[in-house]
Amino acid sequence: MHEVKVEQRQAALLRWFDAHARALPWRRVDLGGRRDPYRVWVSEILLQQTQVVRGTFYFERFMQAFPDVQALSTAPLEAVLKAWEGCGYYARARNLHKAAQQLAERGFPDTYKGWLALPGVGPYTAAAVSSLAYGEARAVNDGNVRRVLSRLWAEAHPSEAWVQQRADELLDRARPGDWNEALMDLGATVCLPKSPRCPACPLSAHCAAFASGEPGAYPAPKRRTPVKTVRAAALLIGDADSAYLEQRGGTLLGGLFGLPIEEGPPEEALPRLLKRLNAVSPRHLGTVNHTMTHRQITLEVYAAEAPVALEPAAGRPLSRLDHKALALLDRADVQGRLWSVPEAEGVD
């Protein structure tokens, strides 16, 4: 790309950003004009899989619980997961907690390579934090950046390497953090996926997709990963306030608590659940449909009675799936009720 055109694009986008930058809580600066790397880091991890509108609420809630890296590093993992509740992709919270323990001991790195060495930090996050908090000339590459650059060059199938190369070429090295945020803001508010607002775009005069008359055709849709259908059964023993909960394992919901669940058709999964918990008197409460990563879960929820200890559901970190399941029970019918277990009854 001709150097003059690069400078024209940089000047046009940064003028627009100076006038239209979003006022977001993680963009606050101190009296010296510096960003808090802790707030920048947490926000970038949070926004990986969470839209800004929802992410702002979750960010403020997380900051209230853990205002600095020391507070996060010394908190129990369960408390961190509870503060992350509703954000999904809970491996992010586990990695935040693990990385915070390293940061509290060693201090914050001030380079891309230093951030890249932390748990849960990939090239995008390392570039974002090092450029925003420390002014390092690193170009970010996320979905918004990919869409903007794909349209500027009318590249229908931009590879990761292609996007990174174009981002590196365009990066304003005098204002790398502002430039990165300007590209992301443009993609989030103007260069929209389905209905780009080209008349409001500061780069429309430099945009090959706009010149083509079909900016929305770029980039071409990615092939979607097939969604796996999962059927399962869950037991609600207790009520929506106090229930029997089990701690989840695995990488997706590891560390969270929830209703006991068995995968499989309900006619197979329910008997296994009843036998495992020595539960009786099951009654169907309803069905929960929930999408999780690349899985579409259909959960049949049953109330039952079992000789198990109940605990306040509000005190444990729960997934949205479990919140939906708990909401099926009519609290007015069972408020304060304790399940009784008939003697000499069981399930084979």
Band of residue 8 on the pLDDT scale cut at 50, 70, 90: very high
Assess if residue 340 is contained within a domain.
no
Tell me which of 187, 217, 247 is where a domain ends.
217
Tell me which of 166, 196, 217 is where a domain ends.
217
Verify that 194 and 56 share a domain, yes or no.
yes
Strand partners, 246: 258
Assess if residue 339 is contained within a domain.
no
Verify that 32 and 64 share a domain, yes or no.
yes
For residue range 235-289, list pLDDT tens digits in order.
999 998 899 999 988 767 888 999 999 999 999 999 999 999 999 999 999 999 9
Q: What domain range is 330 assigned to?
A: 228-334
Q: Looking up tokens 């989840």, which residue turns up?
A: 248
Assess if residue 222 is contained within a domain.
no
Q: Where are the alpha helices (DSSP H) in 33-142?
A: 37-46, 52-65, 69-74, 77-83, 91-106, 112-116, 123-134
Tell me which of 157, 185, 217 is where a domain ends.
217
Q: Which one of the listed residues 7, 44, 160, 345 is annotated catalytic?
A: 44
Joined tokens for residue 128: 């974002």
Assess if residue 328 is contained within a domain.
yes
Predicted TM-score (pTM) of the model is 0.85
In terms of Cα–Cα distance, which of 330, 243, 244 is closest to 285? 330
Joined tokens for residue 8: 């024209």
Verify that 110 and 86 share a domain, yes or no.
yes
Total domains present in the chain = 2
Average pLDDT of the chain to the nearest whole number: 91
Assess if residue 118 is contained within a domain.
yes
Assess if residue 247 is contained within a domain.
yes
Verify that 205 and 235 share a domain, yes or no.
no
d(C-alpha 271, C-alpha 280), whole Å: 10
For residue range 129-149, list pLDDT tens digits in order.
999 999 999 999 999 999 999
What CATH number did the domain enclosing 83 receive? 1.10.340.30
What CATH number did the domain enclosing 285 receive? 3.90.79.10
Assess if residue 343 is contained within a domain.
no
pLDDT value of residue 281: 94
Kindly state the average pLDDT of the residues 79-103: 95
Assess if residue 344 is contained within a domain.
no
What percent of the chain is predicted at pLDDT more than 90?
A: 81
Verify that 125 and 248 share a domain, yes or no.
no
CA dihedral 232, 90, 306, 281 (to 10 degrees): -30
Q: State the chain's maximal CA–CA distance in angstroms.
A: 86
Verify that 263 and 244 share a domain, yes or no.
yes
**Confidence check: pLDDT of 335 > 70:** no
Kindly state the average pLDDT of the residues 159-172: 97
Verify that 179 and 280 share a domain, yes or no.
no
Decide if 345 is catalytic: no
